[in-house]
Amino acid sequence: MKKLILTVAAALLSLPVSTALAADPRALAAIAPLQWVEPDAIEYTLARVRGLGDAKEQLHEVAEAGLEQMACRGLIDFRGLTAVRTGGFGYRDQFRGRSWMRPALARVVLRAHEAFRAERPTNWVTVADATQPGCGQLSYGTLVRMVEDRQSAEARATAGRVAGLNAASLDGDGPSETQRLLAEVQFLVGQPGAAEMHTAADFPLEHERFHSQNQPVLLEHRILARGLSEDGEGRTVLRVATRRYALLPDLPKPRQQKRLVAGMTRAVQKLWASGQTIQSEQVNDFDPVAGQRQVWMVHKVDQRAGLQITVLAREMPGATLDPQSAIEIRLSRWHDRKPGNGNGEVRWRPTEGGWQRWLMLSEAGHMTHAGGRDADISYVTADNTDHLRVRLNRIDVMGTWRWWQLLDETSRAAGTPLERIFIDGKVRTLFAKHLPAEAKATLLWQDIIAVSQGHDAHHHVRLASAPAEREGAALVDLFTPVLPMEDAVGVSMPGDSWIRAQAVCVAPLIPVSAPPASSTAASSRALAYPSR
């Protein structure tokens, strides 16, 4: 069986996917224009879409509003920022770039943590997902990036880790990732994008997610939009949504594999009958072996069962579906409040010898993190262990309470108050039992800390939306004593010399105690938080 897997892998890898492929000019022309908007605009649009109860209406509204083509201005990479400072944080995200925040949130988290560490030098918190660059919506399994012609070292490294590319190959002289994607763009089930085949060995930081080093990994980069860089310097930027799929080995015993396929067939037929068709059209597609072709794509959702199915086939499928007649069948969960989600997606492809199963590599899909003012952070725990794990008995209640107090104090002092800190009901019960009465009498406990289930391994900090001048002041505060800026600032600096970057950054030095008017903060274009 192992040998068979290797043969399948070898066959897949010998496909001419990596050889330079001419772009499909129609796919190139179909890339939508990028729209830079305020973070609040994305939050508002997404909330409106989520509020629609019907799957078909949601899909229509996502397209109508151009949600996937929007990118928000003004976020900064918290991870890059703290890399040039002594943040002392733990990080869960080592490679996915879900660490972007509005400046005001970045300042509050950073300054509160500095104060916390000053009091408790041996404790720290771990930062988990914040927001994706450009307010990329956090669909399950989807890593959204803003890919620029000239990227910072940090962005190149992220691209390398997400896309399985050696960061050095994305360096200076060779083609940039932007050029590479545009040179290879094809229609992938009707949408402009590029697919690549890798092996698990190309993702060294994630080895525990794979069965073996040579397990095939399919990358699907959807190019959502193309435009010019945020800083007005005129560089090409692509908004790219990447999903990654690992080819699962067949089950060890043929009998088990047969049962698995039979189970899939039953599930597919049932869902085909019960699902509401939300999309059915003939679209352009590209396959490394078959080349450019047209396929039928039918997307059905069973909202009651919380499941969805997408079938790709050469002929329009009828009322009953024979799975064997499909080119590919995609099965995943459906969540009414998470448009476009696809948690746990498996793609089944019939082959001569049976079925291939491609499992989407999981990435959390928290939709509320779309505007740059939300961050998931660990509780303070004994010995800093079990961060981001559900271990209630490891939570240091008084340490965590102190951390929250400092978040609250810091945010109010900066004029950018907290809106909420979400915790799980079980965590609230734990705190209610151990906190002294005076703590429970505070507005922090009574008004800001709120219960939202699922927050038992982390708490979720949300800042209130702050006016532009407050965001400008936060930027000035954060970047006053600077080191290499390119790694930290969302908008790449003009020129690649960090000395030049520093000169740009230092220009609007204004004491933080007197928050500048937004026009003053805007004196450096690269640093300005946009007025709204």
- Please, are residues 136 and 37 in contact by the beta-carbon 8 Å criterion? no
| Three-class secondary structure assignment of 129-196 | CCEEHHHECCCCCCEEEEEECCCCHHHHHHHHHHHCCCHHHHCCCCCCHHHHHHHHCEEECCEEEEEE
Pairing relationship of beta strands 70-72 and 35-37 according to DSSP bridges: parallel
Q: Which is nearer to Zn ion, 217 or 370 (CB)?
A: 370
Taking residues 290 to 329 in sequence order and writing x for each that binds Zn ion by CB under 5 A, - otherwise, the string is ----------------------------------------
Question: Min. distance of Cβ 65 from Zn ion in angstroms?
Answer: 23
Question: Min. distance of Cβ 139 from Zn ion in angstroms?
Answer: 15
Size of the site for Zn ion (CB under 5 A): 3
Q: Which residues on adjacent β-strands are paired with residue 389?
A: none
Query: Taking contact as CB under 5 A, which single stretch among the options 9-17, 80-88, 455-463, 509-517 is the one that binds Zn ion?
Result: 455-463
Question: Min. distance of Cβ 465 from Zn ion in angstroms?
Answer: 17
Residue closest to Zn ion (Cβ): 460
Question: Min. distance of Cβ 349 from Zn ion in angstroms?
Answer: 34
Looking only at residues 370 through 389 of this chain, which bind Zn ion when binding is defined by CB under 5 A?
376
d(CA 28, CA 37): 23
Query: Taking contact as CB under 5 A, which single stretch among the options 16-24, 166-174, 269-277, 365-373 is the one that binds Zn ion?
Result: 365-373
Q: Which is nearer to Zn ion, 235 or 458 (CB)?
A: 458
Q: Is 477 in the site for Zn ion (CB under 5 A)?
A: no
Looking only at residues 378 through 437 of this chain, which bind Zn ion when binding is defined by CB under 5 A?
none
The structure tokens listed for 120 are: 């408790």
Question: Min. distance of Cβ 214 from Zn ion in angstroms?
Answer: 35
Query: Taking contact as CB under 5 A, which single stretch among the options 91-99, 156-164, 332-340, 453-461 is the one that binds Zn ion?
Result: 453-461
Q: Which is nearer to Zn ion, 164 or 372 (CB)?
A: 372
What 8-state DSSP symbol labels residue 425?
Answer: H
Query: Taking contact as CB under 5 A, which single stretch among the options 91-99, 364-372, 404-412, 497-505 is the one that binds Zn ion?
Result: 364-372
Q: How far, rounded to the nearest angstrom, does the alpha carbon of residue 131 sit from its chain's CA centroid? A: 7
Q: H or E segment at 91?
A: strand 90-91
Q: Which is nearer to Zn ion, 156 or 366 (CB)?
A: 366
Where are the strands (E) in 236-334, listed by range? 236-248, 276-287, 291-302, 307-313, 326-333
Positive or negative, the CA dihedral 53, 54, 57, 61 is: positive
d(CA 515, CA 505): 17
Q: Which is nearer to Zn ion, 141 or 317 (CB)?
A: 141
Q: Binding Zn ion by CB under 5 A: which of 460, 472, 508, 526? A: 460
Query: Taking contact as CB under 5 A, which single stretch among the options 50-58, 95-103, 225-233, 457-465 is the one that binds Zn ion?
Result: 457-465
Q: Which is nearer to Zn ion, 68 or 376 (CB)?
A: 376
Query: Taking contact as CB under 5 A, which single stretch among the options 3-11, 55-63, 147-155, 456-464 is the one that binds Zn ion?
Result: 456-464
Query: Taking contact as CB under 5 A, which single stretch among the options 140-148, 252-260, 263-271, 359-367 is the one that binds Zn ion?
Result: 359-367
Question: Min. distance of Cβ 172 from Zn ion in angstroms?
Answer: 37
Query: Taking contact as CB under 5 A, which single stretch among the options 107-115, 366-374, 385-393, 520-528 is the one that binds Zn ion?
Result: 366-374
- Please, are residues 157 and 167 in contact by the beta-carbon 8 Å criterion? yes
- Please, are residues 132 and 138 in contact by the beta-carbon 8 Å criterion? yes
Question: Min. distance of Cβ 189 from Zn ion in angstroms?
Answer: 30
The structure tokens listed for 139 are: 């669909």
Question: Min. distance of Cβ 368 from Zn ion in angstroms?
Answer: 6
Question: Min. distance of Cβ 428 from Zn ion in angstroms?
Answer: 16
Q: Which is nearer to Zn ion, 129 or 302 (CB)?
A: 129
Torsion of CA 484, 486, 491, 495, to 10 degrees: 110
- Please, are residues 223 and 238 in contact by the beta-carbon 8 Å criterion? yes
d(CA 224, CA 220): 12
Collect contacts of 307-316 with beta carbons under 8 A, ≥24 apart. Answer: 307/271, 307/275, 307/331, 307/332, 307/333, 307/334, 308/55, 308/271, 308/275, 308/332, 308/333, 308/334, 308/342, 309/268, 309/271, 309/272, 309/275, 311/272, 312/189, 312/285, 316/280, 316/282
Looking only at residues 168 through 207 of this chain, which bind Zn ion when binding is defined by CB under 5 A?
none
Question: Min. distance of Cβ 152 from Zn ion in angstroms?
Answer: 26
Question: Min. distance of Cβ 285 from Zn ion in angstroms?
Answer: 35
Beta-carbon contacts of residue 18 (< 8 Å; ≥ 6 apart): 196, 197
Q: Which is nearer to Zn ion, 363 or 376 (CB)?
A: 376
Of 44, 99, 96, the residue nearest 75 (C-alpha): 99
| Binding residues for Zn ion (CB under 5 A) | 366, 376, 460
